[in-house]
Structure 1
């Protein structure tokens, strides 16, 4: 396989790398800052706080005795606490703690009580989750919540609909069917004629007006999922799909039916982009999708999302609504990730669902190319994934250290040095194996 084909040209490569570094640096900083600040709160001093690894480019010593630094390779970071043998907190630096007074030893990682060490270790993943909740909370305020009565805020960027519905139009009926409350609008759309255009009756400036425009859910590209057939084929937000293999598509449901019935065969999409018709060829891919009950279903997909031809008017959510929504997003990412991992282990879905650094970098660039909101949303999703991964009970990860601390709390002493060495080596082997599998999937999975 030609690896350079993963990224078409140098410009895209540079953009992808920058997007990946920015996303990873934010997430790593928050993760490590969680370790650092909770360690400080619990009386454990940090010698080094590093963003990046390798040769140090910039450094500064703060009043607490911590050296803050930026290293040459921005692919990670660490906090080295006093008394740790290394940045991974794997072992004790006996020379550094020899001869310390009890008060001085209490300020080291090995000399702190087990509860303080456990809180410090757990804080990294927890701060990742907190970052995600804050981002989802902010996005809820940014996007707002659609509100009754159904009113047009603005039209979607589809050619031919610009001068039909107008901002402020209250939609009274579509195709002669009165519009219900928003909570019932999804079921209502299914009762509409499977054709396009349709007549809309709207209240505009106090008068009822009839407007003819596309079906409310036409076959248009509302979003493009990175690393999919649609992304590779160059489909763009706003493209209106007029036909599939010559068969007319009036609605997004028509498009979904054509793709599903094709059983993975190549498709020719006739699209309208900016008033110009063109054909785009692509081949749907098998994808494993999480279900509400925790299972998965495998379907043929091209990798686009649809949407209404207009953006509904919204209201600002309450703090409680926004916070609850943020927590629910994080919960969903965690549960679907764990379900996906279990289904991969049992062979129910393909191991190709696990991606490595190349795939994550590609997704970073694709999300950034779709705009700042999409990129920020991606950071929130990736932050949750990083927090969850670090909680896995694998030695060398935070979850492994928490298991060691739990053992010490129950038994009254930490695992022996020999056991720690063996377990840490085994944990490192597992992490490296996962990384190799992810990179292999990046290179060879469709």
Structure 2
């Protein structure tokens, strides 16, 4: 076997692993820092803050007596508080607690007031949500919003040399349909002819003129979904489909119709990339997609996302508006995740929608390969998922601890150590079973 022939695959694997570890480290660090800092504010002393598990690679002790360390296996992390028997803060170190004075026991997780323990545990998921909002809001603020009138800022090279639309043109109408912004452009896209060229009324250098350009939503790839037919075929953002099953392709909707009407049969495509044509044949996969009714619709997909063919000029977005959009994006993800889980439980959609570590790692690498902004947005999305997962009332997760604290608040006493041990073992078995199931999905699901 030629070792050099394996170099590209090895490089891709390392890139995927590195991207996954980077995303995981950021998310875990923020999650655990939430536990640490709120615990400290609540008077609970942290003995160890660890990124990773296993042998310690580097460590230092700060002025508060907390040892900050980096361990060899970067697949998680933990904060060990004073008096904890383990990293999960589930059991007490009876000997250590008995050796403490009454006042010092107040600084243990098990001796602190109920409100302090509750807030300390809750802080991990909350910090994940805060990270998500910060990322989404920052990206939205950085991008800005398309200004009116809709103006061409950047335009990539396209296969039709007859295009006379230029960067800097302010679009007034397309195909005779008045245009003010992207929303109005989207509304009229179905009314425009599926042709190689469409008339654009634009303002250029103070004069209103008519020029020609492609359909606003031509079959241009803006993003490739990981683990899709398009991703496996090596398609990438910027590719333009010029033929579908031998017929000319002028709009993204033509591609959607051909794929949805394929019933899973291979679709023959001609792709234009950087002045070169190439032929690819993609076999669509069935994908469960959320719909406007809160449910899911199963569609045939090849895994490409389209958009308007030019980058519009943008105007600044206010900080509060960006923050509001960030919060709405977080809520959209949480709502969609809960809906998806419910539909999997009821059998309405396939359980293959649950990804394991391999699938998440592949998505990490794919998003990183499509640009820093896509990767950062992915980190925000994954952080939201981690925060939500940790709120589920399953022992060993933060939500399980919160459920125990809720019981303590109502009953006036904590569950017995024996009950806690049984529930923690059951919770651990459930979590491990789900991890194995998700890993099986990564391996066996198409």
**TM category, shorter:** over 0.9
Q: Distance in 2 between matches of 1:162 and 1:420?
A: 73
Aligned to 2:310: 310
SS of structure 1 residue aligned to 2:396:
coil
Aligned to 2:322: 322
Aligned to 2:426: 426
Map 1:164-179 onto structure 2 (within 5 A).
164-179=164-179
Aligned to 2:398: 398
Show CA shifts across 1:80-107 (max 9, x none).
Answer: 0001110001111111110422210100
Map 1:102-141 onto structure 2 (within 5 A).
102-141=102-141
Q: Distance in 2 between matches of 1:421 and 1:175?
A: 70
CA contact (8 A) 2:163 2:212 kept: no
CA contact (8 A) 2:51 2:77 kept: yes
Map 1:352-431 onto structure 2 (within 5 A).
352-431=352-431
Could you tell me which runs of 5 or more consecutive residues in structure 1 were left unpaired when the two chains were aligned: 1-6
Q: Distance in 1 between matches of 2:391 and 2:363?
A: 23
CA contact (8 A) 1:125 1:390 kept: yes
Stretch of structure 1 that moved more, 240-249 or 341-350: 240-249
Stretch of structure 1 that moved more, 81-90 or 151-160: 151-160
1:41 aligns with 2:41: yes
CA contact (8 A) 1:290 1:336 kept: yes
Show CA shifts across 1:88-144 (max 9, x none).
Answer: 011111111104222101000000011100000000000000000000010001211
Q: Distance in 2 between matches of 1:156 and 1:407?
A: 60
CA shift, 1:257, in A, is 0.4
SS of structure 2 residue aligned to 1:424:
helix
CA shift, 1:323, in A, is 0.6
CA contact (8 A) 1:158 1:239 kept: no
Aligned to 2:351: 351
CA shift, 1:389, in A, is 0.6
Q: Distance in 2 between matches of 1:370 and 1:412?
A: 53
CA shift, 1:72, in A, is 0.5
Q: Distance in 2 between matches of 1:136 and 1:48?
A: 31
SS of structure 1 residue aligned to 2:281:
strand
- Please report the TM-score for the alignment, with normalisation by the length of structure 1: 0.96
CA shift, 1:199, in A, is 1.9
Structure-2 change in CA distance of 1:83 and 1:161 (3 Å): farther
Q: Distance in 1 between matches of 2:127 and 2:423?
A: 26
Aligned to 2:231: 231
Q: Distance in 2 between matches of 1:148 and 1:54?
A: 56
Q: Distance in 2 between matches of 1:43 and 1:56?
A: 27
Map 1:54-69 onto structure 2 (within 5 A).
54-69=54-69
CA contact (8 A) 2:19 2:368 kept: yes
CA shift, 1:162, in A, is 10
Structure-2 change in CA distance of 1:161 and 1:134 (3 Å): farther
Stretch of structure 1 that moved more, 385-394 or 194-203: 194-203
Stretch of structure 1 that moved more, 324-333 or 173-182: 173-182
Q: What value does the CA root-mean-square deviation take over the aligned residues?
A: 1.5
Q: Distance in 2 between matches of 1:53 and 1:164?
A: 59
CA contact (8 A) 1:25 1:51 kept: yes
CA contact (8 A) 1:155 1:165 kept: no
Show CA shifts across 1:211-270 (max 9, x none).
Answer: 222111101111111111110011111111111111222100111000000011011111
CA shift, 1:8, in A, is 7.3
1:222 aligns with 2:227: no
- Please report the TM-score for the alignment, with normalisation by the length of structure 2: 0.96
CA contact (8 A) 1:161 1:214 kept: no
Aligned to 2:275: 275
Q: How many residues align?
A: 440
CA shift, 1:161, in A, is 6.7
SS of structure 1 residue aligned to 2:421:
helix
Q: Distance in 1 between matches of 2:288 and 2:260?
A: 14
Structure-2 change in CA distance of 1:345 and 1:22 (3 Å): same
Q: Distance in 2 between matches of 1:162 and 1:16?
A: 40
CA shift, 1:155, in A, is 1.0
Show CA shifts across 1:360-402 (max 9, x none).
Answer: 0111111111111011011000000000111110000000000
Could you tell me which runs of 5 or more consecutive residues in structure 2 were left unpaired when the two chains were aligned: 1-6
Aligned to 1:260: 260
CA contact (8 A) 1:44 1:107 kept: yes
CA contact (8 A) 2:157 2:274 kept: no
SS of structure 2 residue aligned to 1:9:
helix
Aligned to 2:93: 93
CA shift, 1:182, in A, is 4.1
Q: Distance in 2 between matches of 1:82 and 1:135?
A: 33
Aligned to 1:4: none
Q: Distance in 2 between matches of 1:207 and 1:146?
A: 22
CA contact (8 A) 2:79 2:87 kept: yes
Runs of 4+ in structure 1 deviating by more than 3 angstroms, as ranges, are: 156-164, 180-183
CA contact (8 A) 1:151 1:170 kept: yes
